[in-house]
Structure 1
Amino acid sequence: MQNIRVTLVIQNCPVNRFAHNFAQTVKQVSAAALQNCDFVVFPEMNLTGYAPANLSNAVALDSVWINKLNRLAQKHNIAILTGLVEKAAAGKIYATHLVIRPDQPVARYRKIHLSPFEAPYFSCGDDADVFKFKGVYFGIQLCYDAHFPELSTAMALKRADIIFFPHASPRGTPGEKSASWKRHLTARAFDNAVFVAAVNQVGENNAGLDFPGISMMIGPDGFLAGENIAYENKIKTHVLDMSLLEHIRTHKMRYFLPNRRGNLIDE
């Protein structure tokens, strides 16, 4: 399998400034394209900012700005993964991440596990879908989702090669966030033999929250493959050697998923 280039975008995402955030997103997509990336991945809710109690911050999916992102994906032959607070039908509000690829309908992942701070305001998603681009199968989880190992396993069983973890996590310093991610995200990668990529917002968001800027790439062997600490908007492109997946998955003592006894897990 060919190498895949993934650009992780640490982005400042002020609340109630959709036009500003969208313009920054377009700018960063173009910058990532200059690095010949295949995927450009933004933090959770990068378009709207993160303020769960501020329901006026939610936006409906609009063909005008979505079409602009579609044209960018088509122009650069890349997949764009970008997030927002989605105002859906019947007044439901979701934490949503969009998947925008050339010549394919816009897909989305709606956050399945809501934190105690989010549950009073958002609805839960129900679909742990896996998507495909350039021969790579990938899943998306949002922030709090990362703490539920069975969700990563469900995606791995659907053939995910990469799981992306966009975050809007305001707690701690970049060093503390790094230590936290290394505790649990390395396990998600190692147990399921998948690449794991995580990226957070950065800086103050005009709603009383301050985010530690960090992104991280972890290999399917569970080892750290790259990390980026930032105090402003910043991108980092990682080159993934996809042959490492085959190396791990053909090793009898390093690929655990085929020997999983799923019947022991209560529904």
Structure 2
Amino acid sequence: MKDIRIAAAIFHSAAPDIQKNMERMTEMVLAARSRGAHLICFPEMNICGYSSRPDIKTVAETVPGPVSEAISRLARREDIVILAGMAEKGDRGALFVSHLAAFPDGGLGVYRKVHIAPPEQGVFTPGNAVPVFELAEIRFGIQLCYDAHFPDLSTLMAQKGADVIFMPHASPRGTPEEKYRSWRRHLPARAFDNSLFVIACNQAGENSNGLYFPGIALAIDPSGNIIGKDLSGREGMLLADLSAAAMERVRGHKMRFFLPNRRQGLYERARGGD
């Protein structure tokens, strides 16, 4: 990988005011770019606001569609990668919790949440793909909120070459400090075990769906150390410089980089009952 500055947005999503959210996103994209960021990550479902109620389908859109096209135009105009969340309308009535990856060259990727949390089941459909995206010499994956509790997903992304995993959340309840203590239990482990950076951010404040989100963002290095945090609880932006040297200190050390010694074949045989 190469050195890169990223921005993790703590974002107050007005549900379901897509136009207002898009206007505020544009302001934050401009601010991130002016401060040297090459990528900005917004929280889960920040474009439409988070809801696990069936009426979320009224603000769902297809990809491509008006929202994804607007995000793509913004990424091209400002020369920055934008990761942003929405409710996506799929085929045959499927509804996905999706995150767009819009690139300055016009490329557009989509990650669909793989693990649907119990309150979301029956409304959203789980995705079945684990893409890894590329920006110059950086490869990254995206996980959404509940996804982060499943270690195998992070390992699969690492095996596909991810240097960074972005973990946008729409995680309600509690104070920022309580959310920080919760994230400290598992997010550093995802970084440490897989020798990669983890960047997480949450929505902030109350939305019109009756939920309150403690605003928080974290940046974690491949050794599992926290290299940046914002526990203010307010809308804002965490900037983090992801260092190629920090990555090399881990992946270039045979006793610190665990992944090459993982016995994939053994696990596959064990699952088969051998």
Q: CA–CA distance in 1 between the matches of 2:2 and 2:159?
A: 22
1:98 to 97, 100, 122: 100
Q: Contact between 1:202 and 1:230, CA under 8 Å: does it hold in 2? A: no
* Partner residue in 1 for 2:203: 201
Q: Which runs of 5+ in 2 are unaligned?
A: none
Moved more, 145-154 or 167-176: 167-176
* Partner residue in 1 for 2:11: 11
Q: Specify the SS of the correspondent of 2:84.
A: strand
Q: Specify the SS of the correspondent of 1:59.
A: coil
Q: Specify the SS of the correspondent of 1:117.
A: helix
Matches within 5 A, 1:94-173: 94-173=96-175
* Partner residue in 2 for 1:225: 227
Q: CA–CA distance in 1 between the matches of 2:243 and 2:263?
A: 30
Q: CA–CA distance in 2 between the matches of 1:264 and 1:145?
A: 25
Per-residue deviation, 1:72: 2.4
Report sequence identity in percent: 43
Matches within 5 A, 1:23-102: 23-53=23-53, 54-55=55-56, 56-61=58-63, 63-102=65-104
Moved more, 231-240 or 142-151: 231-240
Say what the alpha-carbon RMSD is for the aligned residues: 1.4
Letter in 1 for 2:144: L
Q: CA–CA distance in 2 between the matches of 1:154 and 1:207?
A: 34
Q: CA–CA distance in 2 between the matches of 1:64 and 1:87?
A: 12
Q: Specify the SS of the correspondent of 1:7.
A: strand
Per-residue deviation, 1:231: 3.1
Per-residue deviation, 1:60: 2.9
Q: CA–CA distance in 1 between the matches of 2:217 and 2:255?
A: 30
Per-residue deviation, 1:59: 2.7
Count of aligned positions: 267
Per-residue deviation, 1:15: 1.6
TM-score (norm 2): 0.93
Post-superposition Cα deviations, 1:188-237, rounded to whole Å, max 9, x if no partner, equal 00000000000000000111100000000000011111100233321121
Per-residue deviation, 1:104: 4.0
Q: Contact between 1:163 and 1:197, CA under 8 Å: does it hold in 2? A: yes
Q: CA–CA distance in 2 between the matches of 1:106 and 1:62?
A: 9
Post-superposition Cα deviations, 1:27-67, rounded to whole Å, max 9, x if no partner, equal 11111111110110000000011111133232333544433
Q: CA–CA distance in 1 between the matches of 2:262 and 2:135?
A: 27
Letter in 2 for 1:239: D
Q: CA–CA distance in 1 between the matches of 2:52 and 2:67?
A: 23
Q: CA–CA distance in 1 between the matches of 2:144 and 2:36?
A: 25
Per-residue deviation, 1:18: 1.0
Q: Contact between 1:218 and 1:224, CA under 8 Å: does it hold in 2? A: yes
Per-residue deviation, 1:153: 0.1
Which segments of structure 1 move beyond 4 Å, counting only runs of 4 or more? none
Q: Specify the SS of the correspondent of 1:128.
A: coil
Q: Specify the SS of the correspondent of 2:119.
A: coil
Post-superposition Cα deviations, 1:80-123, rounded to whole Å, max 9, x if no partner, equal 00001111222110000000002243110000000000111000
Q: Specify the SS of the correspondent of 1:150.
A: helix
Q: Which runs of 5+ in 1 are unaligned?
A: none
Q: Contact between 2:97 and 2:112, CA under 8 Å: does it hold in 1? A: yes
* Partner residue in 2 for 1:178: 180
